[in-house]
């Protein structure tokens, strides 16, 4: 069990009719290229959205983390995080796996630990954050479908999980649970120094431990994730979203090209083109539905 004896969050499988997606602002702030300069044999990297994508194998799943912990075995673990969040239930499962690890767990927030990723970060016996890092906490964020009864049931189902998360953040921080609940209602963002001051992190990372890793390919990956989230918010399934994205004239070809002298400006242009093309496709697809 965790050295800090952190609270367990009991969660069943994902709720039927509910889909968990990343927060818009978190996706906008996420820089997927940020990573640790050095990954040790006992380190686990969480550098993507939380949750497994069965269509392309991307995302960070609890199964992957469980396998990594088995491989590391009976020794201390370092968890490097740069993630905008994602599937709440997968985040809970990963938090519980790290919480139950019988040896010391050090979490290092390299870039972003938002939403479900910030909950995962709380499983560390020690949490360190970089000077370019951010933590974001909020209530469980889901897309629900159905009639008014389904919506009420979804809200009632999520409420105890919000309470459980508030307990975890309060256990780690210097704040009262009621204050933490207010932070979550407001979708509170903390930079590195603020996270340490609030007690959500124990110290700052040395700058030589973090590589900002900014390049065209990584910027395009972030844009692609934003498009996927935008399509999901239109009620489009992941399978349908993949089909639409594959139809875009901007995409994998540009993302896979070698990084050139003007790669940064090119990547920013691609991100805008992704968004514009996604908006057009969403409109066309919605009209057909």
DSSP codes of every residue in 234-247:
TT--HHHHHHHHHH
d(CA 77, CA 79): 6
pLDDT for 268 equals: 47
Give the model's pLDDT for residue 128: 98
249-278: average pLDDT: 47
Tell me the pLDDT tens digit for each residue of 140-187. Answer: 877 777 788 878 887 888 888 899 999 999 999 989 999 999 999 999
Annotation: CATH topology of 18-211: 2-enoyl-CoA Hydratase; Chain A, domain 1 (3.90.226)
Q: What pLDDT score does 288 carry?
A: 46
Percent of the chain with pLDDT over 90: 50
Q: Is 54 exposed, middle or buried (0-12, 13-18, 19+ CB in 10 A)?
A: exposed
189-245 pLDDT, tens digit each: 999 999 999 999 999 999 999 998 765 455 555 556 666 666 665 666 666 666 666
Ramachandran category for residue 231: left, alpha or beta (phi over 0 → left; psi -120 to 50 → alpha): alpha
For the chain, where do the domains classified as CATH 3.90.226.10 start and end? 18-211
pLDDT score at 77:
97
Average pLDDT, the chain: 80
Half-sphere exposure for 265 (CA within 13 Å, toward CB): 2
Global pTM reads: 0.74
Map residue 161 onto helix, strand or coil: helix
pLDDT of residue 8: 81
């Amino acid at each position: 069990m965790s050295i800090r004896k952190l609270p367990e969050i009991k969660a069943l499988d994902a709720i039927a009719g509910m889909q968990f997606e990343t927060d818009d602002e978190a996706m906008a702030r996420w820089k997927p290229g940020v990573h640790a300069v050095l990954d040790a044999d006992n380190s686990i990297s969480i550098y993507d959205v939380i949750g497994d994508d069965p269509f392309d194998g991307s995302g960070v799943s609890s199964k992957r983390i469980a396998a990594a912990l088995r491989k590391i075995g009976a020794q201390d673990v370092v968890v490097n995080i740069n993630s905008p969040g994602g599937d709440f239930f997968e985040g809970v499962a990963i938090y519980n796996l790290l919480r139950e690890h019988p040896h010391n767990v050090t979490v290092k927030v390299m870039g972003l630990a938002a939403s479900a990723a910030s909950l995962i970060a709380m499983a560390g016996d020690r949490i360190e954050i970089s000077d370019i890092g951010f933590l974001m906490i909020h209530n469980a964020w889901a897309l629900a479908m159905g009639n008014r009864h389904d919506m009420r049931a979804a809200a009632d189902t999520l409420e105890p999980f919000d309470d459980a998360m508030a307990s975890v953040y309060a256990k780690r921080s210097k704040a009262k649970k009621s204050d933490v609940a207010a932070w979550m209602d407001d979708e509170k963002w903390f930079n590195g120094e603020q996270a340490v001051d609030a007690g959500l992190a124990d110290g700052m990372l040395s700058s030589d431990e973090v590589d900002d890793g900014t390049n065209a390919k990584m910027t395009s990956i972030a844009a692609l994730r934003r498009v996927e989230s935008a399509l999901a918010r239109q009620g489009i399934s992941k399978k349908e979203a993949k089909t639409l994205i594959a139809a875009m004239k901007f995409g994998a070809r540009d993302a896979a090209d070698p990084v050139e002298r003007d790669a940064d400006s090119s990547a920013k242009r691609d991100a805008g083109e992704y968004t514009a093309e996604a908006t057009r496709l969403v409109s066309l697809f919605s009209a057909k539905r």
